[in-house]
Structure 1
């Protein structure tokens, strides 16, 4: 890895569930062993991640392969007259949003069985507009590690990690730490991952999806965390470019859909309401 300067990764999983039957302890051991390599790549390598559609991915998304191919093509604006202009426009919109959010102090997420607050002072929101992930369309930061308080329920979408699908996740935070966790499906796996290391029970990321060209849940985080009108929170490792400090071998994104009900408040003012992005002055 230390002689690598640029990495372009193309996901082409034909079997997305190959780790499903592997014991959680082995999954955790693998994740820990890869942590030094992952940290080096994030810090020192120019990288980009994208996907080539396969039958396995299409099945996860409940689509035919042809339908999934069209979906992937459209998420990257390749079906538009000028895809580059579309990405440039998205980048400008998100730059305006990050400027607003970088003046914020407190973020609150409200929804069904959800009232979660966090402090983002001194942290940096990043404009993710296609330079690292393709497709992209999100802004994200790392909340202050000990500031997260309250509850969140992920009732609409299952969350997937290491080939395991965990649904109906409920988390309670106190002083930044997950102190209560449950799930309707694969709860034992959730609890095992939360005990992976000291940082696994703390949030490493808050992300806001801004790509309204992505409307369908596909069970692939590359697309799903970008869905316009959703937020995602990652347990575990924080990104240093956000000025986050949480260290963990875990980075598990969980998506909450706010399009039917729910909202995001920035210093008490609505930013996302019923899936719509609103302008807010901070």
Structure 2
């Protein structure tokens, strides 16, 4: 077995989820990720914990969704029961066909998300992590060779996460006490987000592997302005390009897209919370320097920010504050590498992708 796969499994078990002998661990993975699944079982066995495995099949999922009526989706009770008995969840992605679900009605995807919302709620109460196993299909989507994609994935995953944490903590110290953030990019994006009283968090590969962002949840009614997401997002196998959103008092009041606008509309129509921003994230992983059409990596890329429509992040919303709830959490990216800036309480903290503090304690 490729030693990079074993190292990937070690990071997932030892760093990301800190698995101990008493833990029950659920692994959800597609069949192309068999090598990583085997390595995970090996490492979990060395720790003495108890694993269970749920294989995922995108062709089966597509067949089911296309056959179902949107009104017939209901909560998967066995999956919920399994999640309730789980201490740790490791979710692995890796496609045989990155666009397998591209001909599924996006309205059905939204319906399925609504029906299975309680499973998401239960999973968020576990120790969980999402990661990527490199496959040729994902390499094609990233427009890379298989070998180059593997190197890209493992270089992003196998990092000094203590050093990354220290770098990102500089941004946490700025964002955590802040009242307002303004994002400006070219002529198309100028949006302000109230973060008054909300907590900032440091993603150093505890719930996402790779990690590499600082994030918070805006005040639900505190977002105003316009955003053009000039990097595409792939949602359920369909690529949305040139998405634009206009916010008033926190809510999307107008939207559009250059390609697959119906996918964006279906997200917004999922529920009331899907029309508000649940997360503001600032990418800070300098080891990810190439757009890959894979949000797990792209949202961590230096020179980007992302806004997520939908569910807020519990650790960022103090008790007693309004929490934006939704069955979806959909990240969308803004390129901040040129003619762009991030302002925090009126002070520029990043310009054209470079942080004001970068160079002092960042290497």
Give the total of aligned pairs: 271
Alignment deviations for residues 47-68 of structure 1 (CA, whole Å, 9 cap, x no partner): 1221110011000100011110
TM-score by length of 1: 0.93
Unaligned ranges ≥5, structure 2: 1-82, 359-363
Distance 2:248 2:357 in 1: 30
Does 1:123 find its partner at 2:198? yes
Q: Tell me the CA shift for residue 185 of structure 1.
A: 0.3
Please list every run of at least 4 consecutive aligned residues from structure 1 whose deviation after the TM superposition is greater than 2 angstroms. Answer: none
C-alpha contact (below 8 Å) 2:185/2:338 kept by paired residues:
no
The residue number in structure 2 matching 1:68 is 149
Kindly report the root-mean-square deviation, in angstroms, between the aligned alpha carbons of the 2 structures.
1.3
Does 1:222 find its partner at 2:296? yes
Segment drifting more, 202-211 vs 5-14: 5-14
Give runs of aligned pairs for residues 239-254 of structure 1, distance below 5 A. Answer: 239-243=313-317, 245-254=323-332
Alignment deviations for residues 154-182 of structure 1 (CA, whole Å, 9 cap, x no partner): 12x11121222110111100000000101
The residue number in structure 1 matching 2:308 is 234
Structure with bigger gyration radius: 2
Q: Tell me the CA shift for residue 246 of structure 1.
A: 0.5
C-alpha contact (below 8 Å) 2:214/2:282 kept by paired residues:
yes
Question: Helix, strand or coil for the counterpart of 1:214?
Answer: coil
The residue number in structure 2 matching 1:50 is 131
Segment drifting more, 95-104 vs 67-76: 95-104
Distance 1:182 1:175 in 2: 19
Does 1:185 find its partner at 2:266? no
C-alpha contact (below 8 Å) 1:229/1:272 kept by paired residues:
no
Q: Tell me the CA shift for residue 37 of structure 1.
A: 0.4
Question: Helix, strand or coil for the counterpart of 2:349?
Answer: strand
Does 1:132 find its partner at 2:207? yes
* Partner residue of 1:13 out of 95, 119, 141: 95
Q: Tell me the CA shift for residue 96 of structure 1.
A: 2.6
Distance 1:34 1:60 in 2: 28
Structure number with greater CO (CA < 8 Å, separation at least 6) is 1
